[in-house]
Amino acid sequence: MAEIEHYTLNFGPQHPAAHGVLRMILEMDGETIERADPHVGLLHRATEKLAEIKPYNQSIGYMDRLDYVSMMCNEHAYVLAIEKLLGIEAPKRAQYIRVMFAEITRILNHLMWLGAHGLDVGAMTMFLYCFRDREPLMDAYEAVSGTRMHATYYRPGGVYRDLPDTMPQYEKSPWRNDKKLKELNANRQGSLLDFLWDFTEQFDSSVDEYESLLTENRIWKQRLVGIGVVSPERAFQLGLTGPMLRGSGVAWDLRKMQPYDAYAEMDFDVPVGRNGDCYDRYLVRVEEMRQSNRIIRQCIEWLQKNPGPVMIDDHKIAPPKRADMKNDMESLIHHFKLFTEGYCVPEGETYAAVEHPKGEFGIYLMSDGANKPYRLKIRAPGFAHISAMDELAKGHMLADVVAIIGTMDIVFGEIDR
């Protein structure tokens, strides 16, 4: 009988560790990976083409659905690109709100990543802990935009509305007694900012909790240390960004180096790894959560002291107030024009990038002067990361592939677009 040297293994697209719909053809020698060929595109929706057929503002909602665990960061890049082409700038308060929610989103994303990565590698408890802490942040999303995930909250020229003065509260139900109800509503007595402040007070200790479960955990380290090592030179060559690049020891963070919105006024540190393996990237992301917490606190302090407009006053771009429309003809016309035709953007092209939780998320926007984009290109960090799969997985065992997928922080909404 002929001896079989290599065989191919089909991994996914229906695999719990594939983080969505990743299909991989693995060429194996025994249990060692010889070649990994990821097949993506199973979630391709042609977001870029769809954006070409609708006015600018109508695509903001699509941005949420790209990387569906860091919704507002996607919106942020898109909105910044439009603002750049229009040559406008959001009011200071809106910039702070955007930065605050971008950091809330970063924590949301990293918690999701930590939980799922833990689960992949065998730490079931992490998943439950992380989802527990995501809940208050989701509530903050809901309080400000009305939805827990797909917010459509950022707009060209600011944000949709100011932060609410009250937090929604839990109501009486047959399943909770009065004591429990009081407990649940204890931190919801003040405004959204008070609620978030309360969250930031205890979040650091939550991160300590995750770290006590994982950082020195023998199994965790055995699964991650020395897996998927990337040198800084290779990271540049492969187009890796974000924590994937910082894990290799490159201190590059767009929030610091090319600050947008109010990031220039924030005080925070950029963590970097040393070895460029999965474990260092884990440490980088955990530290990023602490830093995000710091930024949120700075934003809350500023926002509490500085009321003001959250949207520019130009009604050719931002809709007028509902109340004005009732007795002002011009407001009514502006509203009508904005919601039927949209606004025309001057001819030109621009690229706006943000430090997305996963890496550099960029929007290349091209306008020929019409009310719809001529071409929109979404630069998704995950797309570059997963294209490095073959190089990272080569020579590792099958079980390590799961750890590598986890460390790349892959979400198919953005990769397949």
Partner 1 sequence: MSQLLMDLVDKHFADKVLDKKIYRGQLTIEVDKSDLLSVCETLRDNDDFQFEQLIDLCGVDYLTYGQDEWSTHEASGSGFERGRASLDFDSAKEDSERRFAVVYHLLSVTLNHRIRVRVFADSEDMMVPSVIDIWNGVNWFEREAFDLFGILFEGHPDLRRILTDYGFIGHPFRKDFPVVGELEMRYDEEQEQCVYEPVTIEERILVPRVIR
Q: Which of residues 203-242 bind partner 1 (CB under 8 A)?
A: 236-241
Query: Using only C-alpha atoms, what is the Rg of the chain?
Result: 23
Report if residue 259 touches partner 1, rule: CB under 8 A.
Answer: no
Q: Which residue has the tokens 């979400």?
A: 411
135 touches 188 (CB < 8 A): no
Interface residue with partner 1 among 89, 91, 383, 399 (CB under 8 A) is 383
- Residue 348 found at the interface with partner 1 (CB under 8 A): yes
Stretch that binds partner 1, among 90-98, 184-192, 260-268, 376-384 (CB under 8 A): 376-384
Helix (H) or strand (E) holding 101, with range, is helix 92-121
Q: Quick check: 257 binds partner 1 (CB under 8 A)?
A: yes
Q: Would you give the binding string for partner 1 spanning residues 89-128, x where CB under 8 A is met? A: ----------------------------------------
For residues 372 and 52, the answer to whether their CB atoms sit within 8 Å is yes
Q: Which residue has the tokens 């990271």?
A: 235
Strands of 32-39's sheet, edge to edge?
7-11, 23-29, 32-39
Q: Please state the length of the chain.
A: 417
Position among 30, 61, 226, 369 found at the interface with partner 1 (CB under 8 A): 369
Query: Which residue number, 143 or 388, has a Cβ lying nearer to partner 1?
Result: 388
Q: Please choose, from the candidates 318, 300, 322, 299, the residue with its C-alpha nearest in 3D space to the C-alpha of residue 309.
A: 318
Among 29, 30, 53, 219, binds partner 1 (CB under 8 A): 53
Q: Does 80 bind partner 1 (CB under 8 A)?
A: no
Min dist. Cβ of residue 369 to partner 1 (A): 5
Q: Under the criterion CB under 8 A, does residue 87 sit at the interface with partner 1? A: yes
Angle between helices 92-121 and 124-145 in degrees, nearest 10: 160
Residue showing tokens 């949420």: 64
Q: Please, what is the Cα angle at 91 between 87 and 97, to 5 degrees? A: 120
Is 250 a residue that touches partner 1 (CB under 8 A)? yes
x/- track of binding to partner 1 for residues 9-48 (CB under 8 A): -------------------------------xx--x-x-x
CB atoms within 10 A of CB 238: 17
At position 28, the amino acid (one-letter code) is M
Residues forming contacts to partner 1 in the complex (CB under 8 A) are 40-41, 44, 46, 48-50, 53-55, 58, 84-85, 87, 236-241, 250, 252, 257-258, 340-342, 344, 348-351, 353, 360, 362, 364, 366, 368-372, 374-375, 377, 379, 383-384, 387-388, 416-417
